Structure 1
């Protein structure tokens, strides 16, 4: 591989969905560029992935379907040759067939795969041995997923690398004036001395909104003097990535608990960094996060976080930065929320340590540097 081609990568994400996995390529492209690499993208025509790549300054190569991509191997190989691309990076396991075929036809290519989801079953049958046998390295986004990957994938340990995700902390730094923050809180229905308890993310059962609502009900029952307001941030329709039946179920439960005035369904918002400024406590009650981007976003905003003591979240949250609670235990969540709601100084202290932890361990710059080191080592 020439020096020139060793600094060019094609990110492959043939998905019609829209979540952290699909957002990843466009999120890292500006930092790849800043660190001296040229990024290309392969996506489904008309997908949000293709749109996001365009917004990031990359004109993606598009295909109408995954099957058509396989039928168009000659076109893809010609594209790789014309652009002198030596590195392929897949983000869905279903795209590895395409990546492995390209490597088989052009052995000088290096193939990487990021397991964004956390594998749940063994992949050691003949097909997966063939496909993963052509992968230069698997990136696991947490130690939790790396342990699963070691057990599931037909690869030696040295080809499975933990590489934590990262964010640019700058957008999350507080920037609203006192007047602007007060106005935003008023828009959200927050009284002056109300503790805002937020949960942001896709509204689906796995994200834990149900236990969060039950925890707020516990607060209302056992700490009636506390002034708080729950803010549930996330799309409320299927088009916005949410489970509409589950949204209806949550609304019914809030109504049954008599909490309609105390829990606000904020809906989808593009200004999450500013919404975090309006919050006092951020909750991440997901049952099985492979990493937890929302956690480090809240930490970067200097917020005290309560997260589930499952999945990868205990790798991000410790007693100096937040609190952990069992994902199916509303009382434990309520107690953690009560502790933080009672003590503004504690929330501030936890938030300061959390902000420092992100700056040290979870920046996009650090993540991309690790990624590029692996690309370069393979070259």
Structure 2
């Protein structure tokens, strides 16, 4: 999953911050642990949601490494305070998003008898392993990030799809947001974003571009995203194929760009060709930038794209992907119409604030019901 987190750098991350005073811990209502040092989609979700949730009046903090120092957090020295209920609630909620966070919550609640109830958010779109299923059954409440991920859960759950920050991701506003400012050849841009690897379907995108671009000379194709060491050979094979087709100046690898938001705004068409995804935010980010989308049905893509905003095809089907892209390249006005509809759709149904409010409703239901197992 891809989220842009403004202002987050390695130097701004805290390994073990204790920004909430010992006295203030007594007022903490919800803890959102982050037990992974490297930046991930889950970490980005926590970083973006907590300020919104606090703005909505919830006293929520995080705990763990790899987080901005400015984010309200507690450290392990504050754990003994969890034996006591907070000032305004009968218990605290421990909102886990990973297995190790569920394990820690179960130990604190069921072994150490701390005043906690446990919530888990599941994004996985596959059958869970037996141990994970057992962990999930120990939760007091469960959120699924899509209907598809919820279909793999064997417990009651609430579906709350991720949202996108519609202030960060917005339509073109000035000349720098136009494709012409990129200095690349052509007049119109089609692109995809994400790590260069088979699971992201980069090869499917390249194959489609090799077949289609000779028929559409106004278009240029780009791929933004990092290539890890183990996928350098994969990228090189794609570069060789592009060169053999004589399209090295029109199908370009840009690498990890400083600001992917700018490239969404420069694109007339965005393609999400993934073979598999957890959730997958890039189509929403593109749609919020007023860009038409063609996507596979990996992750939650099919649940976020509706008729008129883009096209969805079967994941891994290169021929179907190419056939879906072709009409957009042939008719840029079709892209413009879909982009306008996509923007309205995202602003109405997928603003990040809406996700924050829906999660807050789950918290309040847990507090109101006592969430007894």
TM-score, length-normalised on structure 2? 0.82
CA distance in 2, matches of 1:353, 1:175: 15
Measure the CA separation in 2 of the matches of 1:306 and 1:171: 22
Q: Does 1:97 align with 2:103?
A: yes
The answer to whether the 8 Å contact 2:197/2:227 transfers is no
Q: Per-residue deviation at 1:37?
A: 1.7
TM-fit CA distance, 1:265: 1.1
Q: Partner residue of 1:34?
A: 55
User: Aligned residue for 2:253?
Assistant: 265
Q: Could you list the per-position Cα deviations for residues 170-218 of structure 1 after superposition, in whole angstroms to 9, with x for gaps in the alignment?
A: 22222432x3334x63435143xx2201101122321111100011112
Structure 1 position 308, deviation (Å): 0.3
Over aligned residue pairs, what C-alpha RMSD do you find?
2.6
Could you tell me how far apart the structure 1 residues matched to 2:283 and 2:118 are? Answer: 30
Q: Which residue of 2 aligns with 1:202?
A: 195
Deviations 1:322-349 (A, max 9, x none): 0122333333222222201122221111
1:229-262 residue CA offsets vs partner (Å, 9 max, x unmatched): 1110112345xxx844433343333334433111
- In 2: Cα distance, 1:11 partner to 1:146 partner: 21
In structure 2, the CA distance between the partners of 1:5 and 1:114, relative to structure 1 (3 Å rule), is farther
Give, in whole Å, the separation in 1 of the partners of 2:48 and 2:161.
Answer: 14
Structure with a larger share of its residues in helix: 1
Alignment of 1:117 with 2:124, yes or no, is yes
Q: Provide the secondary structure at the position in 2 that maps to 1:148.
A: coil
Distance 1:302 1:143, change over 3 A: same
- Aligned equivalents of 1:78, 1:200: Cα separation in 2: 44
Which residue does the alignment assign to 1:165?
Answer: 162
| Separation in structure 2 between the aligned mates of residue 188 and residue 17 of structure 1, nearest angstrom | 34
Match of 1:180 in 2: 176
* Residue of structure 2 in register with 1:279 after alignment: 267
TM-score (norm: length of structure 1): 0.81
Question: 2: CA distance between counterparts of 1:5 and 1:132?
Answer: 28
1:10 pairs with one of 31, 40, 51: 31
Distance 1:218 1:87, change over 3 A: same
Whether 1:289 aligns to 2:277 is yes
Aligned length: 338
Offset at residue 143 of structure 1 (A): 0.4
SS at match of 1:333: helix
Partner residue, 1:230: 221
Matched residues in 2 for 1:23 and 1:244: separation? Answer: 26
Do 2:85 and 2:92's aligned partners in 1 also have CA atoms closer than 8 Å?
no
Aligned 8 A contact 1:10 1:89 in 2: yes
Check whether the contact 1:190–1:196 (CA below 8 A) recurs between aligned residues: no
- CA offset digits 1:295-339 (Å, max 9, x no partner): 111111111100003442111112211012233333322222220
| Counterpart for residue 137 of structure 1 | 141
> How many Å apart are 1:60 and its aligned residue?
5.4
Maintained 8 Å contact 1:141/1:290: no
- d(CA) in 1 for partners of 2:267 and 2:250? 14
Shift in Å at residue 28 of structure 1? 0.8
Cα distance change on mapping 1:236 and 1:188 into 2, 3 Å? farther
The answer (yes or no) to whether the contact 2:197–2:234 under 8 Å persists in 1 is: yes
Q: Can you give the 5+ residue segments of structure 2 that lack an aligned partner in the other structure?
A: 1-24, 368-373
Distance, in Å, in 1 between the alignment partners of 2:361 and 2:40 is: 26
